[in-house]
Structures are given as structure tokens and as C-alpha cells.
A and B are shown apart, each in its own frame.
Chain A
Amino acid sequence: MISLQNIEKYYTNKFVKTYVLRNINLEIEEGEFISIMGPSGAGKSTLLYLLGMLDKPSDGEYYFLDEPVHKFNDRKLSELHKSYIGFVFQQYHLIEELTVYENLETPLIYQKMNSKERKARVGDILDRFNIVGKKDLFPNQLSGGQQQLVGVARAVISEPKLILADEPTGNLHTDQGEEIMKLLKNLNEKGTTVIQVTHSKVNAAYGNRIVNLKDGWIER
């Protein structure tokens, strides 16, 4: 599904190149559950954003479903990203001004789905995640765990092939975290590819493979 070949990422600052990712080679099959681990500043988030097409590699080749992503322009990237990828963040990143319902609806709106279908989809996901009662609440009226639940729901609502989660349980209590991890595992079992960044060995164990990053290099 995903193939990274010799990916480099650096920032140029006053003519000094600061490398964040070095010579990354990574193959990911459809249906895998990958955990990226490593110390702070290792480049985990950067890698995740590259995979999510929110950022571009400085060098190297990135194939997504055999498409050469590194050659695509912004618009094509945004199309690809919109239809195949869902994001979950450590800070949840819900839109404060919108209710739970509207937050869930937003990705569908951007995909120009008609309102009838949207209604059905949102209703469905509210059911699945057991948050029907919360649909008219605003994010700040929810606990952290509940917010992340919505965050995951929002990531899966457009039925992406790939879910990218950057420390999804980083801000949660252990039992809340466990619930989210189970959710991701569940999605994975139904066929969605999941890539998560985590600092926790316990959480990493939900996955089938661990990628260790250190100073931008993948450790073997």
C-alpha cells in the first residue's frame, strides 16, 4: 500500500540544512497496524505528516497505492489525502465552534457529499461510537476521552483506507487510552490500515509491527 524509498526531510535555515528524516525506507501492506516509537524530536510526527500528505519530503520517493505521491501537486495531494486518509491527534483538534455532530459532518462536507447521505453517515457513526447523546454538545463540554472518541469518529467517518494517529492517547488516562486503543484495533481488524505514534510499549503492542525512529533514522 505504501512504499517510502530513500525519503529525506530537512529544513533549511540560514543556509544550514537541519535533517529531520534520513534515508527512510519503509514498506507498509494494506491491513497492517504499525506503531512508530522513538524519543521526542526523533521525527515521528514529521514522518506521520509526510505519510498523510500534509507535508512533502525534501528528497526520495513516496508511492501510495502505487501512485507517485512525490510528483503530485498540492491539489492532487489534497484530493488523495481527502479520500483515503483520516487523522487523529494527541490534542484532539476538534473545531471549538462546532458541535460534535457538525465536527463529524465537516470532512463529508469537504468531500461534497449530499446532505441526505451525510445525515445517514453521521447518524451511523454516532451510533457506532455510542455518542448519540453528545451530538449537540460542543467540544469544551466533553471530557478528554470523549473528545478523542469524537476525534477518532471524525477520522473514520469518510471510511479512509489509512488512519494516522499521532499519540492518540497522550493526553488521556490509562483506561480512556485503552478504550481508544481498542477502537483502533477494532478498526484495523475490519481492514483499515493504522499507523500510530506512541511512547507507550503497552499501546505499541496493539500493533503488529514497531518502527523505531532515532534522530531521523529508522533503527533496525
Chain B
Amino acid sequence: MLKNYFKTGLRNISKHKLFSFLNIIGLSIGMSVTLLIIVVLENASNFDDFQKNKESIYRVYTEETNPDGKMSWAITFPELTNQLELNESIEKITKINSSFRGALDYKAKELNFNGYFADSNFFNVFSYEFISGNPKTALMDPYKIILSEETAHKIFGNKDPFGETLNTKFGDFTVSGVIKEPDGNSHLSFGVLGSYSTLSTLRNKNLLNKEEWNWEAKNPEYIYLVIDNKNDISIVRDQLSIIAKQIEPLVEDVTLSFDLQNMDDIVLGKQMAGSIGPTFAFLESMIFLSLTLMILLPACFNYINLSIARSLGRGKEIGIRKILGGNKKQLVLQFIIETFILSLFALIGSMLIVYLIKDEFITLLASGSRLQIIDISFTGYLLGILLALVTALLAGIIPAVYFSKQNPLESLASKVKPGTFGALSLRKGLVVIQFALSIGFLIGISAFVKQYSHALNFEMGFPKENILVTHLADVNFNIFNNEFQSQPGVKSVSFSSTIPGSWDNSTTVVRHLDSDDSLEVQEISVDEKFLEEFDINLIKGNGFNSEMSGNNGFAIVNQQFEKSFGRFNSNSDNKNYFITESGRTAKIIGVVEDFNKTPLQKESKPILIWFNPDKYRYAFVTLESDNVYDLRNKLKKVWAGLSSMNFEAKFLEHYLEEAYNSFENAIKVLGLQGVFVMVISCLGLLGMVVFSTNNRIKEIGIRKVLGASEGKLIWLLSKSFLSLLLISTAIGVPISYFIFDRMLSRMRYEYVGIGLFEILASVSILFIAGGSVILWQTKKIASINPVENLRSE
């Protein structure tokens, strides 16, 4: 019996080519998105699999209740460990602080690094393999550092780094080990590990914020526990809630509580502030999953729609089958199988699509982290087939029941019109939903594009044009200055540690000499010409002069710094002095106007400006405005005389564009999905227009003979479809405006809002796409020679 169904199914698919084509394409696209989710989930769920203790590792996290609501934080207090250590249910405890980053200096080499301070229990809890060093003692003493294989190789090449000294802003560290890169993805990703005891030393020396249980500082501290016995988890939870009641978080109106999270849930679980490593952020809010449905469902709608539209042709077959003794169950099964075959074809199509876009897509989602992307596994394929089955059920069940309910005598007499009221309004409803979704995506995309372009044109507080930025690499800045400054066409040259307006920021904490109040500020090191080149005006005091070069006793700050820092109590003698977390004391000699050192922030951050040539990493070359690209090529030759490295020079604008990658990613993801939904919707519309205009060929022929013009006929055929588009717009615009408006206004950027232009543009695109589908088909019908029309009956 099944064989017979499969055979009929295949024949039906090959016989009704347009129907099958529209559906296979539509379902392929719809399923590809679901398949992508499977791939993403597979990629996300293999995180930390190499950890031998994975199942029994738990992270302590913090729930903050404030007047605005609740919030989960991955960070917590290191002080918790003191009490947790007494709990016998806990096998092992380790703490991590993720603030260990900055630049590593080794002899003349400098390398940016990202890592953690970790205590000596780290390797008891987590499974890493040592190439050199002793896991038991490597993180015991202060100022020890463990390098990942990759980091070690970058600095030391093939030399064994054990025992070498590396300089960081936290002090000098001795290399106590090198570990292998883990085999697989991990939420912990680090180039180096510093000994946690270093932090305690720094705190004791008063170089770091010392206050205990200070939630305001939001120190990036993480605690991991190993609990072997699952029954003991509640004991630990109880203990945590008792501790929570005893502590004072030092922030008004905030209460805190603590909870445990299994390692399995870290990457895929709920989204938390202060996360360490990548999180598949979209998954948490289910937004992404619902987006998937928003694409798979329209594809299923198409199927339902087109199947019912085709019911006139199929009615006869169903009728005969019923008369030959087929019961409802058998007929429903037949249709589901037919849909399933179609879905299998679509599955192949969707695998092709997934294969093409998989890597890029996953990288977009897990933004900012390096991922080893795995291929679709066997389970993945099985899930894919299951997906085809589910799709078949989703898409097939309505037409199947619809068909099986038809009266066989009526279907044989062709009395069932595809336009029976219920079916027709169902089909119209489906098309409306599809296009309402399309308009939603269009508005979403245009809103993001607007936000993006606003970001790019944002008034940064400094000029962006004609400034060529280059990494200094191994070139001494003095030599660079001499060589480049003298080139014709070069206006000025200056240097700094970071590029203003990029995310690439290093921060420090400063306080007065005679006060405990501290302020987190962004640091930048510049030369004496920098402020002038970037047109940043001095408001008070003095700028740097060349004698101050390398003197860390002097600093310039921005207005925001002055404002925030000035609020703290201080003896007037010490008012212009501050001390940093690494213990450096300096005097503020000048105040400059605010400029955006990081992109598009709603308000300016306090900025601390040093004059420290040791930190210079970038050169800024301002060019005369003509022929900047020719000039760039000339400068490339100059560079070739200085260094064997590539001349990696970009205009400042390009660097700034890179800073808005997250927008670009959102635009890409939404754009891809938007294109998918639009294509599916247009396919569905095309199918609907084709099937219903074909039923009117005779009528159109008669009208034509009676003298109707082609234009009138096109209008007659098109207007009901156009009104569907209108209804979609009326439903889709307000809903999507509401959704995206709320979504964008919650982001940390300055929000520009969705304007009339974006809405009109989206609506126009919808009407152009939908309208041309309608026009294409109706024009075809309206231009058929009426004599042929009438004969075709």
C-alpha cells in the first residue's frame, strides 16, 4: 500500500511541475533555516565536552533584584569561596577573574592578550593538558603565568618559555607552564592564565579596590564548583541562600541571591550579564527560534495554499479513490506521504543551502568568538529527516483533511470549486500572514540599516576623513614620524595606543590619593600632536609638550572625567592628583572636550590621556584632501623601506565601520531571513495568482470579446491580490514598528528611531515585489487571444 502511495506521490510531483517547483523551493528555504538551528545547536551543545568533569561542574551565578526588575549575572563575589570551602558536599572550588588582559611585553615584542586570573584549583576542576610545567603548583604563587600553546608560539616561537619573564600592566610575571589548546570549543577561552594570588597581592598593596562584597564594582569574578552527588546540590543552594541573606552588597535598593548552573547550561542556557566566553545569545530569548518558525511556517502555508488551490484538479482522483473503497484514514495518509516526498526533495535543497551558508551564519551568531565549526552529524541528518516529516505533517494535514472530507459524488461532478468560502478565506489569510511577516522583516532591516548609517555618520567629536591609520608593527615611531612627515601631501602625523572611536579600549580604575572612591576610566596614550590632529580642544590647563614625553606623572582628562572625578571628596591640595590601579600617581594638567573614544555611546565615558610613547601602536597620517588613494600607494613604498611587514593602512572611517560589526551582523542575519521570507511569500502569491487566474481564462475571454481593454482586465484580475497586500501592510506595519522600536531602543547605543521613510521604503519594496508577481501573471492571462481562451474549455 505504501509503495502505491509513494508511486502516486512521485507521479503527482512530476506531473504538476509548477506546483512542485514552487513548493520545493519554498520548503527548501523554510527548512534550511530550521536545519541551520540544528547545526547551531549541535555546535553549541558540544561546548566544553572535553571537560572530563563536565557533568558535575557548576557555576555560581548572581540574581540581582533592583527597582527595575530582575537580572542574572554570571559574575559573583570571590568572597563566597571562604564559606563554600567549608561545605563538604563540594568536592572542589575554583575562582576565576577575567580582567587579566592588556599587552604582554617580552623584550621588544608586544602582544595583546586576553586571559584570566585563576587559582591553583583550576586544573583540578578543568581538564587541560600541560606541555611544560606542573599543574599542581603552576598557579600557586603570585606573578606566575601560564601560556596557551598559541600564545607561547607567538612570543617565543619554538623556544621553551618556561621561566621567562613577561611584563604586563599588573607587573612582571614568570612563565610557569604551557598548556595545549583544548580539543573542542569551550566557553572558557584564554591565551594566558595568571595566578589568582597575584590579585590578592595587588589588593593587599592597596593597588586594587579592596572593599569586600562590593557589587558596585562588578568585578569579573567567577566561581566554579565540582559537586559529584546530584543530591547535594540542594544543600549547596541552601547554603548560598543563607549567605545571600547575610551580605551587604553596598548598592542601594539592590538585593542579591545566588544560584547554581550546570556547565551544560552555560553556553545554551539563559543569557546573563557579565558572561565569560561566547553565548548563543539569540537562543536564550527564543527570538531566533520564532524567526525560524516565521520562515518555515510561510513555506508550509504555501503548500497548504497551493494544495487547496489545486483541489479542483485533484477532486476527481479523490472521488474515485473513495468510491473504490478508500477510507478517510487511507486518504489522509496518502496525502501526508505525498507531502513527505516533497519535503524530502526540499530537505535535499535545504541541505544545499545550509552547506553554503553554514559557516558564515554560525560565526555571525556566536559573535566575537573563535569557533571550530563542526559538520552536520549523523544525528543531525536524522533530525533533518524528522524535520521533513514534521514539515510534511505541518503542511500536509490541512489539505489532507480537506480532501478526505470532500463528498466523492460532488468531486466527480466537479462541483467543488477551489473558491469555496472557507477554503478561500483560509488561503487569503495565509497570504496575508506571509506578507505581514515580510513587511516585518523589511521594517526590521531598514531600522537596523538606519541605525547603522547613523552610527557611521555619528559626530565622533573629531574629524574622520583623510586620516590614514596604520599599525606601527616593528617600526619605531620616531623613524616613522621623520619619514612620513616629510612626504609631500602629508599634513600631519601623530601616534596613539588605541584608535579613537573603536571598541579597542583599555580601562583602569583611578582614585584620589586621599579617598577610597574610585572611578573606572578609559585610557589612551598619545603624542603631543594627537589632540591637534584630531581637533580635540583644550578647555582648561595645558596640553602635552615634548619634554613631558614618557613622563607618566602628567595626564590630560576629558570633561566627563573631570565631572565624575570632581564629585569625590578630596583635600584641595590633592584635587588634581590621582592614583591608578597599578599604583601610578599622576597630576592632571589639562582638560579637553569630550570625544567619543568608543562608538555611539549614549553618553561620553571618562577618558584618561597619557603621553607614553612606549604604548604607541598606531600612527595617524592626515593627508591633503586630493588624491588620497595615490598618496596611500606612495606611502606604501615609504613603509617598505622601513619594515618587512605589510603596510596595513586603512582610513579611519573603515576602522570605525568595523566597530559596528554587530549591526552589520544583525543586518546580515535579518537580511538573509528577510530575503527568505520574501521569496517564499512571492512564490506563494505567484501560485495563488496562477491557479485562480487560470480558472478565469474563459471569463476573461468573454469580457475581451465584449470589448474590455487589456488594462481593465489586468486591473480586474489584480485588484483582489493587491488588496491582500494592503491588508498585510495594515497589519504588519504597526506590529513590526512596535517590536523593532522596543528592541532597538533597549540597545546600548544611541537610538535614532524608525522613521516614515523606512516604513514607506519597506512598503514600496513589498508592493514592487508582490506587484510584479501579480502583474506578470495577470498580464499573461489578459493578453491571451480570446478565441483561444474560449476554445480551451
Expressed in whole angstroms, the Cα–Cα distance for A82 and B4 within the complex equals 19
Contacts of A105 in B (CB 8 A): 4
Q: Once the chains bind, are B325 and A107 in contact (CB under 8 Å)? A: yes
Q: Once the chains bind, are A154 and B323 in contact (CB under 8 Å)? A: no
Closest to A55 in B: B409
Interface set, chain B 1-46, CB cutoff 8 A to A: 1, 4, 7-8, 11-12, 15
B: contact size bracket: 20 to 34
Cβ of B79 < 8 Å from any Cβ of A? no
Contacts of A112 in B (CB 8 A): 1
Interface set, chain A 76-116, CB cutoff 8 A to B: 78, 81-82, 87, 89, 91, 93-98, 102, 105-107, 109-112
Partner of B11 from the list A55, A75, A82, A97 (CB cut-off 8 Å) is A97
Q: Once the chains bind, are A54 and B409 in contact (CB under 8 Å)? A: yes
Q: Once the chains bind, are B4 and A109 in contact (CB under 8 Å)? A: yes
Cβ of B669 < 8 Å from any Cβ of A? no
Expressed in whole angstroms, the Cα–Cα distance for A75 and B328 within the complex equals 9
Q: Once the chains bind, are B327 and A78 in contact (CB under 8 Å)? A: yes
Q: Once the chains bind, are A107 and B324 in contact (CB under 8 Å)? A: yes
Partner of B317 from the list A78, A96, A102, A107 (CB cut-off 8 Å) is A96
Cβ of B316 < 8 Å from any Cβ of A? yes
Contacts of A109 in B (CB 8 A): 1, 4
List 22 interface pairs A-B (beta carbons < 8 Å), by A numbering.
A49-B409, A52-B323, A54-B409, A55-B409, A75-B327, A78-B327, A81-B325, A87-B323, A93-B320, A93-B323, A93-B412, A95-B8, A96-B317, A97-B11, A97-B15, A97-B317, A98-B7, A105-B4, A107-B324, A109-B1, A111-B325, A112-B1
From known contacts A107-B325, A110-B325, infer whether A54 and B408 are also in contact, taking CB-CB under 8 Å: yes
Contacts of A52 in B (CB 8 A): 323
Partner of B316 from the list A75, A82, A93 (CB cut-off 8 Å) is A93
Cβ of B540 < 8 Å from any Cβ of A? no
Partner of B324 from the list A75, A96, A110 (CB cut-off 8 Å) is A110
What residues make up the interface of A, taking CB atoms closer than 8 Å to B?
Answer: 49, 52, 54-55, 75, 78, 81-82, 87, 89, 91, 93-98, 102, 105-107, 109-112, 154, 158
Contacts of A98 in B (CB 8 A): 7-8, 11
Given contacts A87-B323, A110-B330, 12 further A-B contacts (CB under 8 A): A54-B323, A75-B327, A93-B323, A93-B412, A94-B320, A95-B321, A97-B11, A97-B12, A97-B317, A109-B4, A110-B321, A110-B326
Q: How far is the CB of B8 from chain A (nearest CB, A)?
A: 5
Contacts of A95 in B (CB 8 A): 8, 317, 320-321
Shortest Cβ-Cβ A-B pairs, 6 listed? A82-B325, A110-B325, A97-B11, A107-B324, A110-B326, A93-B320
Q: How far is the CB of A112 from chain B (nearest CB, A)?
A: 7
Expressed in whole angstroms, the Cα–Cα distance for A106 and B408 within the complex equals 16
Q: Once the chains bind, are A106 and B412 in contact (CB under 8 Å)? A: no
Contacts of B408 in A (CB 8 A): 54
Chain B, residues 318-351, CB within 8 Å of chain A (1/0): the string is 0111011111001000000000000000000000
Contacts of A78 in B (CB 8 A): 325, 327
Expressed in whole angstroms, the Cα–Cα distance for A110 and B319 within the complex equals 14
Q: How far is the CB of A108 from chain B (nearest CB, A)?
A: 9
Closest to B16 in A: A97
Expressed in whole angstroms, the Cα–Cα distance for A54 and B4 within the complex equals 24
Contacts of A54 in B (CB 8 A): 323, 408-409
Q: Once the chains bind, are A106 and B324 in contact (CB under 8 Å)? A: yes
Contacts of A94 in B (CB 8 A): 320
Chain B, residues 401-440, CB within 8 Å of chain A (1/0): the string is 0000000110010000000000000000000000000000
Interface class of chain B by DSSP: helix
Contacts of B325 in A (CB 8 A): 78, 81-82, 107, 110-111, 158
Q: How far is the CB of A150 from chain B (nearest CB, A)?
A: 12
Expressed in whole angstroms, the Cα–Cα distance for A77 and B161 within the complex equals 88
Q: How far is the CB of B275 from chain A (nearest CB, A)?
A: 57
Q: How far is the CB of A50 from chain B (nearest CB, A)?
A: 11
Closest to A86 in B: B324
Expressed in whole angstroms, the Cα–Cα distance for A96 and B12 within the complex equals 10
Expressed in whole angstroms, the Cα–Cα distance for A51 and B327 within the complex equals 19
Q: How far is the CB of A121 from chain B (nearest CB, A)?
A: 14
Closest to B12 in A: A97
Expressed in whole angstroms, the Cα–Cα distance for A49 and B15 within the complex equals 31
Q: Which of B1, B4, B323 has the most CB of A within 10 A?
A: B323
Q: Once the chains bind, are B7 and A102 in contact (CB under 8 Å)? A: yes
Q: How far is the CB of A118 from chain B (nearest CB, A)?
A: 10
Contacts of B321 in A (CB 8 A): 95, 106, 110
Expressed in whole angstroms, the Cα–Cα distance for A145 and B36 within the complex equals 55
Expressed in whole angstroms, the Cα–Cα distance for A64 and B412 within the complex equals 25
Q: How far is the CB of B4 from chain A (nearest CB, A)?
A: 6
Expressed in whole angstroms, the Cα–Cα distance for A54 and B320 within the complex equals 11
Contacts of B15 in A (CB 8 A): 97
Expressed in whole angstroms, the Cα–Cα distance for A112 and B321 within the complex equals 14
Expressed in whole angstroms, the Cα–Cα distance for A55 and B320 within the complex equals 14
Expressed in whole angstroms, the Cα–Cα distance for A111 and B321 within the complex equals 12
Q: Which of B1, B7, B317, B321 has the most CB of A within 10 A?
A: B1
Q: How far is the CB of B31 from chain A (nearest CB, A)?
A: 26
Contacts of A82 in B (CB 8 A): 325
Expressed in whole angstroms, the Cα–Cα distance for A99 and B319 within the complex equals 18
Expressed in whole angstroms, the Cα–Cα distance for A97 and B313 within the complex equals 12
Contacts of A106 in B (CB 8 A): 4, 321, 324, 326
Expressed in whole angstroms, the Cα–Cα distance for A75 and B4 within the complex equals 23
Contacts of B323 in A (CB 8 A): 52, 54, 87, 93
Closest to B320 in A: A93
Expressed in whole angstroms, the Cα–Cα distance for A111 and B11 within the complex equals 23
Chain B, residues 290-327, CB within 8 Å of chain A (1/0): the string is 00000000000000000000000000110111011111
Q: How far is the CB of A40 from chain B (nearest CB, A)?
A: 14
Q: Once the chains bind, are A97 and B8 in contact (CB under 8 Å)? A: yes
Expressed in whole angstroms, the Cα–Cα distance for A102 and B3 within the complex equals 11
Expressed in whole angstroms, the Cα–Cα distance for A109 and B327 within the complex equals 11
Closest to A89 in B: B412
Expressed in whole angstroms, the Cα–Cα distance for A96 and B327 within the complex equals 20
Q: How far is the CB of B61 from chain A (nearest CB, A)?
A: 59
Contacts of B409 in A (CB 8 A): 49, 54-55
Q: How far is the CB of B442 from chain A (nearest CB, A)?
A: 40
Expressed in whole angstroms, the Cα–Cα distance for A96 and B15 within the complex equals 10
Contacts of B330 in A (CB 8 A): 110
